[in-house]
Every structure is written in C-alpha cells, then in structure tokens.
Structure 1
Amino acid sequence: MSLPSTSELIASLDEELVDLLYERLKLAADLPPLETPDEVAREVLRMRNLAAIYRVPPDLGETMALALIEARKQWKGA
C-alpha cells in the first residue's frame, strides 16, 4: 500500500475542513444569535484559528464566521 501524495493529502484536508464547516452550520441553526460585539469577535477569532490550523487563509475563517452569524440571525428571525 502506497502513501498518499501531497495533493491527495491536501484534498482530504480540504474535504475535512468543508465537512467541519458544514457541521458547524447545522449546529448554528440550534444556537441563539450572537448579539454583542464581543460574542461576534470571539466567534470570528475562533473560526480564523480553525482556518489557520488547516492552513487556509484566515480570511476564509472570518468569512465563514460572519456567514454563520448572519445565518443564525435569519433562522431565529432576528
């Protein structure tokens, strides 16, 4: 059995990141909307850190966090 190539490893990490973000999106539907600037800042920082762990641009994490925050507001009618 051969080891996966670098491109195969990167692809699997990309898929794992997308899966994690999808799971986070599903969970967001059950959480109350974030309201304070501190709550929003913590969520953005957490998602930026998650992106950094997967070696993708931190801005991607921030974009996802802001999208999740907006989705939570819409789902909860805020």
Structure 2
Amino acid sequence: MPPPLPTPAELVASLDEELVDLLYERLKMAAELPPLETPEEIAREVQRMRNLAAIYRVPRDLGEAMARALIEARKQWKGA
C-alpha cells in the first residue's frame, strides 16, 4: 500500500521550508558579491525580485522588501 498523500497544509509547510532554504542560500551568495552602489543597480535588483514575486504569485511588495533586505545585507557584510 503506497504512503498517503500529504495534506494541503503539509504541502504548504514543505514549500515554506524550501523557500526559506532558498532565501538563506541567496543570502549566503550575496555575501560573496560586491554591494550594489548605483541607483540603477538597485532598481534592477528590485525589479528582478518583483518579477520573481510575480512568478510565485506573491505580492510585489514582498519581492521588493526581499530585494531591499538582500541589498542591505550585502552592504553590511562588506562594511559599506
């Protein structure tokens, strides 16, 4: 007998964990990159994260907030 299928709540929880893991990996990678400095670089990164948010059907504001958090993290890790 095959194992039971996960419930919707279990699926959502596993996706949430995957997204957190992906964000953590992105934060680690950001530490290796130089900080974004120009308004154009920052605008491109914010737009990229907004687009990702749209793909995953989450609010654009969440994508922008994530981008700004990553930009700030890069500055702090590099002592900018």
Same fold (TM over 0.5): yes
Q: Which residue identity does 1:18 align to in structure 2?
A: V
Aligned counterpart in structure 2 of residue 57 of structure 1, from 53, 56, 59: 59
Structure of greater Rg = 2
- The residue that corresponds to 1:39 in the other structure is 41
Q: Which residue identity does 1:26 align to in structure 2?
A: K
Alignment of 1:1-78 (within 5 A): 1-78=3-80
Q: Which residue identity does 2:74 align to in structure 1?
A: R
Count of equivalent residues: 78
Q: Matches of 2:62 and 2:20 in 1, distance apart? A: 11
Unaligned runs of at least 5 residues, structure 2: none
In the alignment, is the contact (CA less than 8 A) between 1:13 and 1:54 conserved in 2?
A: no
How far residue 50 of structure 1 moved from its aligned partner, in angstroms, is 2.6
Normalised to the residue count of structure 1, the TM-score between the two structures is 0.84
Normalised to the residue count of structure 2, the TM-score between the two structures is 0.82
How far residue 69 of structure 1 moved from its aligned partner, in angstroms, is 0.4
Unaligned runs of at least 5 residues, structure 1: none
